[in-house]
Amino acid sequence: MSLALAGCATAPVDLRNMSPAQWSQEVARRGVDTGRVQNPLLVTDEMRAEAARLARLGTDVQRLQSLQTSLFNTREFPFRYDNRRTLTAIEAYTEREGNCLSFTNLFVALARSLGIPATTALVLRVRGSEREGDLIVVNTHVVAVYQQAAQVTYYDFDQYRDRRPTAVRPLDDLWITALYLNNRGSDELRAGRPDQALALFEDTVRLAPEFAGGWGNLGVTRRRLGNTTGAFAAYEEALLVDPDNPTVLSNLAALYSSLGKEREARQALAVASVADASPHSLLVRGDLELAQGRAHDALSFYTRARRLDPNLGEAWLASARGALALGRERAARRYVAKALDRAPDLAEARQLAARLGVVVPAS
């Protein structure tokens, strides 16, 4: 046990369950403007009253289970899932919609209003991503978690919420804020606003410098803005945290390839862990192989991507391109038809289908 001497030392702030004042102070200390960044876990008096109504009496675990059940009951709490909306707890409560992170923010905030110190946990074995051209934007999956003595209870909000997650990292409140900013940055990047995304990703890594995905997304954004040196620096920071992250390494390889440095691109891909790669990472890796004339290797990566996500139209389209490079036109027709079955509005698939004489469904 250590003793704090008056005037000589200050006890560290517990970042896991911060008051609004503590949150503001610590966020500002890390160089983030609290005037532009919202605390995603704030609650209103109305939310406190609603949490007390929804969470019946019992142990903390029982009350949290009642809260989760009530939030899923559309008669008690009509909430619309929207994968593209990342909201604070107050916004999610007011608008009654949002994505998985929005719902988790809401649940954790309501739990804490009941005096139950729930938090958020990052699911480490889920490497979600979305493709933006030849780049990959990292997505994350989170759950709420409550630990009491040796018992840990998880509260998931996606379609597989009955499954117990594995390999999770409980997060402090600054990490929770960083995930919120990371998702908002991804939203801005998808909307074609890289300048706005840049500020959000920079704040993300200031608050959670060990978040490899945040550094990776910062690298993507800097490259979009023409800052190649800054992109390399961000990818380097990401790999210091997670050296074999396949998404970051795929983006790094794509950057090298765009500069004509194919040897360096191949070296980056050689390090990437294929076992942990997301479908989009595999597609980028396959594209780089195809560009180098290694169609067999490319098709192998495309096949892996399809197996990971059979409903991903881009994976079937990539397989069609790989099959064509090998002269397998019949297989290419079959693949492009499957791509359009899954993504009827995929423009490149429609163009390739027309070229191959495949019937294109009405969009």
State the CATH number of the domain containing residue 33.
3.10.620
Mapped onto helix, strand or coil, the DSSP state of residue 156 is coil
Give the model's pLDDT for residue 165.
Answer: 59
- Within a domain: 304: no
- Helices in 160-278 by DSSP H: which ranges? 173-190, 194-207, 212-224, 228-241, 246-258, 262-271
For residue 197, the one-letter residue type is A
Q: With respect to residue 355, please indicate whether it lies within any of the assigned structural domains.
A: no
Q: Does residue 323 lie within any of the structural domains?
A: no
Q: Please report the pLDDT score of residue 24 as a whole number.
A: 96
Q: Indicate the number of domains in the chain.
A: 1
User: Tens-of-pLDDT digits for all 363 residues of the chain?
Assistant: 333 333 333 445 678 889 999 999 999 999 999 999 999 999 999 999 999 999 988 899 999 999 999 998 888 888 888 877 899 999 999 999 988 899 999 999 999 999 999 999 888 654 556 666 656 766 667 889 998 877 888 888 865 455 565 667 889 999 999 999 999 998 898 889 999 999 999 999 999 999 998 999 999 999 999 999 999 999 999 999 988 888 888 889 889 989 999 888 888 877 776 666 778 878 877 887 888 889 999 999 999 889 988 999 999 999 999 999 999 999 999 999 999 999 998 999 999 999 998 877 665
- Residue 331's SS3 state is helix
User: Which residues constitute the domain of residue 174?
Assistant: 19-191
Instruction: Specify if 343 maps to a domain.
Output: no
User: Which residue type occupies 204?
Assistant: T
Question: 3-state DSSP call for residue 63?
Answer: helix
Across 107-142, b (16+ Cβ under 10 Å) vs e yields bbbbbbbbebebbbbbbeebbebbbeebbbbbbbbb
Provide the CA 324 distance to its chain's centre, in angstroms: 33
- Does a structural domain hold residue 282? no
3-state secondary structure of 137: strand
In a domain, residue 161? The reply is yes
Q: Which residues pair with 144 in a beta bridge?
A: 120, 155
Q: Which residues lie below 8 Å from residue 246, measured CB to CB, with a gap of 6+? A: 127, 272, 273, 274, 276, 277, 278, 281, 285
Residue 253 lies in a domain: no
| H or E segment to which residue 284 belongs | helix 279-291
The answer as to whether 200 is a domain residue is no
